[in-house]
């Protein structure tokens, strides 16, 4: 069994001794979604008559649209020594922050709606399930780096060292160019306070 919930283990698997500040997957990172029909068919059944009926497969299943690139690295994931398809399926689908962890005091205290707009979500349109950086900036962006913002620190580090990789929130995205959403978030944090 992998560590979860009240387990004292912080990491999903034992990190190498040389890990330092490097990233290693922690428990409580991913939330599950309904994995089968049972959840739905308790209400959607022939008995209740609530539509869609179990037999109308197409009401719930469509051809899967192309998926955006995930903040996921299959090679790195393999080195973690985890063989859990469901966890990897979630990770692969993360098109915003691959390292974001749900089970973490400062994150778990927030209402889900701080980051997820459930009414606008359509799983057939991956762009609608993405979490925007504005949801992180309230805490991780500050007027300047000296005020402790991780986003400020990484943007400043990139300016100093062009090869700097952003690792706080990202697995693979952190090697790429800085999106304007990130610099806009810094500007907003600088003017708000």
Name 190's Cβ contacts closer than 8 Å, sequence gap at least 6: 143, 144
Least distance in Å: CB of 151 to ligand HEC? 4
Minimum distance of ligand HEC from residue 99's CB (angstroms): 4
Exposure of 33 in the CB half-sphere (CA atoms within 13 A): 8
Using CB under 6 A as the binding rule, whether residue 96 contacts ligand HEC is answered as yes
Q: Is 171 in the site for ligand HEC (CB under 6 A)?
A: no
Planar angle of CA 38, 42, 46, nearest 5 degrees: 110
First to last CA, the chain: 46
Q: How distant, in Å, are the alpha carbons of 44, 63, 85, 130, 174 from that of 117?
A: 24, 23, 26, 9, 25
Pattern 2-31, binding to ligand HEC, x per CB under 6 A? ------------------------x---xx
Candidates 1-9, 11-19, 73-81, 179-187; binding stretch for ligand HEC (CB under 6 A): 179-187
Each residue 141-160 as x (binds ligand HEC by CB under 6 A) or -, in order, gives: ---------xx--xx--x--
Q: 78 or 113: whose CB is closer to ligand HEC?
A: 113
| Total interface residues for ligand HEC by CB under 6 A | 66
Q: Which two tokens stand for residue 138?
A: 């309230």
User: What are the strands, taking DSSP E only, across the chain?
Assistant: none
Write out the H or E segment, with its range, that includes residue 114. Answer: none
Short-list 131, 144, 21, 13, CA closest to 83: 13
List residues near ligand HEC by CB under 6 A: 26, 30-31, 33-37, 39-40, 42-44, 50-52, 54-57, 59-61, 90, 94-97, 99-102, 104, 106-107, 110, 112, 114-116, 129-133, 135-136, 138-140, 150-151, 154-155, 158, 166, 168-170, 173-174, 176, 178-179, 181-182
């Amino acid at each position: 069994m992998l560590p979860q919930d009240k387990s004292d283990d912080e990491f999903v698997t034992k990190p190498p001794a040389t890990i330092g500040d490097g990233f290693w997957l922690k428990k409580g990172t991913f939330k599950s979604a309904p994995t089968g029909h049972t959840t739905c068919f308790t209400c959607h059944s022939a008995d209740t008559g609530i539509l869609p009926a179990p037999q109308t497969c197409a009401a719930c299943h469509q051809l899967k649209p192309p998926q955006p690139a995930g903040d996921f690295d299959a090679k790195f994931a393999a080195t973690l020594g985890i063989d859990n398809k469901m966890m990897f399926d979630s990770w692969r689908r993360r098109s915003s922050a691959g390292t974001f962890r749900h089970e973490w005091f400062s994150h778990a205290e927030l209402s889900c709606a701080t980051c997820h707009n459930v009414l606008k979500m359509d799983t057939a349109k991956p762009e609608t399930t993405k979490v925007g950086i504005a949801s992180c900036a309230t805490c991780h962006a500050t007027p300047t780096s000296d005020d402790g913002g991780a986003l400020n620190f990484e943007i400043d580090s990139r300016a100093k060292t062009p090869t700097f990789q952003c690792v706080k929130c990202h697995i693979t995205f952190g090697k790429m160019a800085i999106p304007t959403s990130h610099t806009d978030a810094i500007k907003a944090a600088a003017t708000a306070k």
